[in-house]
Amino acid sequence: MMRTLAGLLLLTMVVGCAGGASIRHYLIDPVPGPVLAAADAEALVVEILDVELPRYLDRYPIVRRGADGQVILASGHQWGEGLRLNLLRTLSINLSEQLGSVDVSTPRTRSASRPDYRVLVVIEAFEADADGRVRLDARWQVMAGSDHSTLTTRLSRLQSERRVAVGDHAGQVSAMADLYGSLSAEIARELLAPASQRGAS
Protein backbone atom coordinates (compact mmCIF):
# COMPACT_ATOMS: atom_id res chain seq x y z
CA MET A 1 0.00 0.00 0.00
CA MET A 2 2.79 2.44 0.96
CA ARG A 3 4.66 1.62 -2.26
CA THR A 4 1.50 2.28 -4.26
CA LEU A 5 0.95 5.66 -2.57
CA ALA A 6 4.59 6.60 -3.10
CA GLY A 7 4.33 5.66 -6.76
CA LEU A 8 1.17 7.70 -7.22
CA LEU A 9 2.80 10.71 -5.49
CA LEU A 10 5.87 10.48 -7.76
CA LEU A 11 3.64 10.19 -10.84
CA THR A 12 1.65 13.24 -9.76
CA MET A 13 4.85 15.27 -9.31
CA VAL A 14 6.19 14.28 -12.73
CA VAL A 15 2.90 15.08 -14.47
CA GLY A 16 2.67 18.39 -12.63
CA CYS A 17 6.18 19.38 -13.70
CA ALA A 18 5.62 18.27 -17.27
CA GLY A 19 2.38 20.18 -17.51
CA GLY A 20 3.71 23.38 -15.96
CA ALA A 21 4.28 26.57 -17.92
CA SER A 22 7.70 26.87 -19.55
CA ILE A 23 10.16 29.46 -18.28
CA ARG A 24 11.74 31.89 -20.72
CA HIS A 25 15.24 33.15 -20.02
CA TYR A 26 16.82 36.47 -20.97
CA LEU A 27 20.16 38.28 -20.93
CA ILE A 28 21.11 41.94 -21.14
CA ASP A 29 23.33 41.89 -24.22
CA PRO A 30 26.07 44.36 -25.13
CA VAL A 31 24.90 47.25 -27.31
CA PRO A 32 27.13 48.02 -30.29
CA GLY A 33 28.31 51.59 -30.08
CA PRO A 34 30.85 53.90 -31.65
CA VAL A 35 34.48 53.80 -30.59
CA LEU A 36 34.85 56.96 -28.51
CA ALA A 37 38.64 56.84 -28.18
CA ALA A 38 40.80 58.55 -30.81
CA ALA A 39 42.30 56.17 -33.34
CA ASP A 40 45.86 57.08 -32.34
CA ALA A 41 45.22 57.08 -28.57
CA GLU A 42 46.94 54.57 -26.33
CA ALA A 43 44.49 51.90 -25.20
CA LEU A 44 43.42 52.26 -21.57
CA VAL A 45 43.59 49.45 -19.03
CA VAL A 46 40.41 49.45 -16.93
CA GLU A 47 39.39 47.30 -13.98
CA ILE A 48 35.69 47.08 -13.13
CA LEU A 49 35.58 46.53 -9.38
CA ASP A 50 31.90 45.60 -9.18
CA VAL A 51 28.35 46.30 -10.28
CA GLU A 52 26.26 46.33 -7.12
CA LEU A 53 22.50 45.70 -7.11
CA PRO A 54 19.74 46.22 -4.53
CA ARG A 55 18.40 42.97 -3.11
CA TYR A 56 15.02 43.23 -4.84
CA LEU A 57 16.76 43.14 -8.25
CA ASP A 58 19.37 40.52 -7.43
CA ARG A 59 17.14 37.54 -8.19
CA TYR A 60 16.23 35.43 -11.21
CA PRO A 61 12.64 36.57 -11.98
CA ILE A 62 12.47 39.79 -14.02
CA VAL A 63 11.21 42.65 -11.85
CA ARG A 64 8.67 45.33 -12.67
CA ARG A 65 7.34 48.03 -10.37
CA GLY A 66 3.63 48.43 -9.81
CA ALA A 67 1.57 51.13 -8.18
CA ASP A 68 1.99 52.02 -4.51
CA GLY A 69 5.54 50.69 -4.34
CA GLN A 70 4.69 47.14 -5.43
CA VAL A 71 7.48 44.88 -6.71
CA ILE A 72 6.10 42.45 -9.31
CA LEU A 73 8.09 39.31 -10.12
CA ALA A 74 7.65 37.56 -13.47
CA SER A 75 8.14 33.96 -12.36
CA GLY A 76 7.82 32.63 -15.92
CA HIS A 77 10.39 35.11 -17.30
CA GLN A 78 13.79 34.93 -15.68
CA TRP A 79 17.39 35.96 -16.20
CA GLY A 80 19.57 33.33 -17.85
CA GLU A 81 22.22 33.89 -15.17
CA GLY A 82 22.66 36.02 -12.08
CA LEU A 83 21.87 39.61 -13.09
CA ARG A 84 25.01 41.00 -11.42
CA LEU A 85 27.27 38.64 -13.37
CA ASN A 86 25.44 39.47 -16.60
CA LEU A 87 25.85 43.20 -16.00
CA LEU A 88 29.54 42.86 -15.12
CA ARG A 89 30.30 41.02 -18.36
CA THR A 90 28.17 43.33 -20.51
CA LEU A 91 29.75 46.47 -19.03
CA SER A 92 33.18 45.00 -19.76
CA ILE A 93 32.26 44.33 -23.40
CA ASN A 94 30.58 47.72 -23.87
CA LEU A 95 33.56 49.60 -22.43
CA SER A 96 36.03 47.50 -24.39
CA GLU A 97 34.31 48.47 -27.65
CA GLN A 98 33.78 52.12 -26.73
CA LEU A 99 37.34 52.60 -25.46
CA GLY A 100 38.95 50.56 -28.22
CA SER A 101 40.71 48.45 -25.58
CA VAL A 102 40.76 44.70 -25.02
CA ASP A 103 42.06 45.15 -21.47
CA VAL A 104 38.84 45.80 -19.52
CA SER A 105 38.62 43.30 -16.66
CA THR A 106 36.08 42.28 -14.02
CA PRO A 107 36.37 40.34 -10.73
CA ARG A 108 35.93 37.16 -12.81
CA THR A 109 38.44 38.11 -15.52
CA ARG A 110 41.35 39.70 -13.71
CA SER A 111 44.08 41.17 -15.88
CA ALA A 112 47.80 40.97 -15.20
CA SER A 113 48.14 44.56 -16.43
CA ARG A 114 48.22 47.44 -13.99
CA PRO A 115 44.98 49.40 -14.49
CA ASP A 116 44.96 53.05 -15.47
CA TYR A 117 41.52 53.38 -13.88
CA ARG A 118 39.12 51.43 -11.69
CA VAL A 119 35.34 51.68 -11.97
CA LEU A 120 32.62 50.93 -9.40
CA VAL A 121 28.93 51.01 -10.32
CA VAL A 122 26.11 50.96 -7.74
CA ILE A 123 22.69 50.49 -9.34
CA GLU A 124 19.78 51.91 -7.35
CA ALA A 125 16.93 51.13 -9.77
CA PHE A 126 16.75 49.17 -13.03
CA GLU A 127 13.25 48.07 -14.01
CA ALA A 128 10.03 49.12 -15.73
CA ASP A 129 7.95 51.54 -13.69
CA ALA A 130 4.20 51.48 -13.21
CA ASP A 131 3.89 53.91 -16.15
CA GLY A 132 5.73 51.50 -18.44
CA ARG A 133 8.97 53.45 -18.76
CA VAL A 134 12.16 51.58 -18.03
CA ARG A 135 14.57 53.52 -15.85
CA LEU A 136 18.14 53.09 -14.71
CA ASP A 137 19.48 55.01 -11.72
CA ALA A 138 23.13 54.36 -10.98
CA ARG A 139 25.90 55.96 -8.96
CA TRP A 140 29.38 55.31 -10.28
CA GLN A 141 32.95 56.20 -9.48
CA VAL A 142 36.16 56.38 -11.44
CA MET A 143 39.26 55.77 -9.34
CA ALA A 144 42.95 56.03 -10.08
CA GLY A 145 44.55 52.72 -10.87
CA SER A 146 47.63 53.56 -8.83
CA ASP A 147 46.15 54.32 -5.41
CA HIS A 148 42.32 53.88 -5.60
CA SER A 149 41.83 57.62 -5.03
CA THR A 150 38.44 58.83 -6.28
CA LEU A 151 38.67 60.94 -9.42
CA THR A 152 34.99 61.19 -10.32
CA THR A 153 31.64 60.49 -8.69
CA ARG A 154 28.52 60.64 -10.82
CA LEU A 155 24.80 59.92 -10.58
CA SER A 156 23.15 58.86 -13.84
CA ARG A 157 19.38 58.81 -14.20
CA LEU A 158 18.30 57.30 -17.51
CA GLN A 159 14.81 56.55 -18.82
CA SER A 160 13.50 54.82 -21.93
CA GLU A 161 11.73 56.94 -24.52
CA ARG A 162 8.98 54.42 -25.16
CA ARG A 163 6.70 52.67 -22.73
CA VAL A 164 6.78 48.89 -22.30
CA ALA A 165 3.43 47.13 -21.96
CA VAL A 166 2.76 44.89 -19.00
CA GLY A 167 3.78 41.37 -19.99
CA ASP A 168 6.20 42.52 -22.72
CA HIS A 169 9.27 41.10 -21.00
CA ALA A 170 11.35 40.97 -24.19
CA GLY A 171 10.61 44.66 -24.76
CA GLN A 172 11.62 45.47 -21.20
CA VAL A 173 14.92 43.58 -21.52
CA SER A 174 15.66 45.32 -24.83
CA ALA A 175 15.04 48.73 -23.27
CA MET A 176 17.24 47.79 -20.30
CA ALA A 177 20.08 46.83 -22.67
CA ASP A 178 19.79 50.19 -24.47
CA LEU A 179 19.89 52.14 -21.19
CA TYR A 180 22.84 50.10 -19.95
CA GLY A 181 24.66 50.85 -23.19
CA SER A 182 24.03 54.55 -22.61
CA LEU A 183 25.40 54.27 -19.07
CA SER A 184 28.49 52.50 -20.42
CA ALA A 185 29.02 55.34 -22.89
CA GLU A 186 28.82 57.93 -20.06
CA ILE A 187 31.49 56.03 -18.15
CA ALA A 188 33.65 55.65 -21.26
CA ARG A 189 33.50 59.39 -21.97
CA GLU A 190 34.57 60.11 -18.40
CA LEU A 191 37.49 57.69 -18.67
CA LEU A 192 38.63 59.46 -21.85
CA ALA A 193 38.12 63.00 -20.53
CA PRO A 194 41.15 65.15 -19.73
CA ALA A 195 42.02 65.20 -16.02
CA SER A 196 41.16 68.90 -15.82
CA GLN A 197 37.56 68.17 -16.76
CA ARG A 198 36.96 65.56 -14.08
CA GLY A 199 35.21 66.19 -10.80
CA ALA A 200 32.46 65.10 -8.43
CA SER A 201 28.84 65.83 -9.15
List the pLDDT tens digit at each of the 201 positions of the chain: 444 444 433 333 333 344 457 999 999 999 977 888 876 677 899 999 999 999 999 999 999 999 988 999 998 999 999 999 999 999 999 999 999 999 999 988 887 889 999 999 999 999 999 999 999 999 999 999 989 899 999 999 999 999 999 999 999 999 999 999 999 999 999 999 886 566 555
Q: How far, rounded to the nearest angstrom, does the alpha carbon of residue 22 sit from its chain's CA centroid?
A: 24
- Strands, E assignment, the chain: 24-26, 46-52, 61-65, 71-79, 104-105, 117-128, 133-144, 150-163
Residue 127's DSSP bridge partners are: 135
Give the three-class secondary structure for 190.
helix
Cα–Cα distance for residue pair 42/28, rounded to 1 Å: 29
Cα–Cα distance for residue pair 173/74, rounded to 1 Å: 12
SS3 content of the chain, % helix, strand, coil (to 5): 30, 30, 35
pTM here is 0.85
pLDDT of amino acid 2 = 43
Residue 79's DSSP bridge partners are: 26
Q: Compute φ and ψ for 27, nearest 5 degrees.
A: -135, 150
Q: Which residues, 6 or more positions from 143, have their beta carbon under 8 angstroms from its beta carbon?
A: 49, 117, 118, 119, 120, 149, 150, 151
Domains (ranges, CATH) in the chain? 41-197 (3.40.50.10610)
Cα–Cα distance for residue pair 194/152, rounded to 1 Å: 12
Identify residue 66 by its one-letter amino acid code.
G
Cα–Cα distance for residue pair 100/103, rounded to 1 Å: 9
Residue 197 · residue 189 · CB < 8 Å: no
Cα–Cα distance for residue pair 65/15, rounded to 1 Å: 34
pLDDT of amino acid 125 = 97
pLDDT of amino acid 15 = 37
pLDDT of amino acid 20 = 59
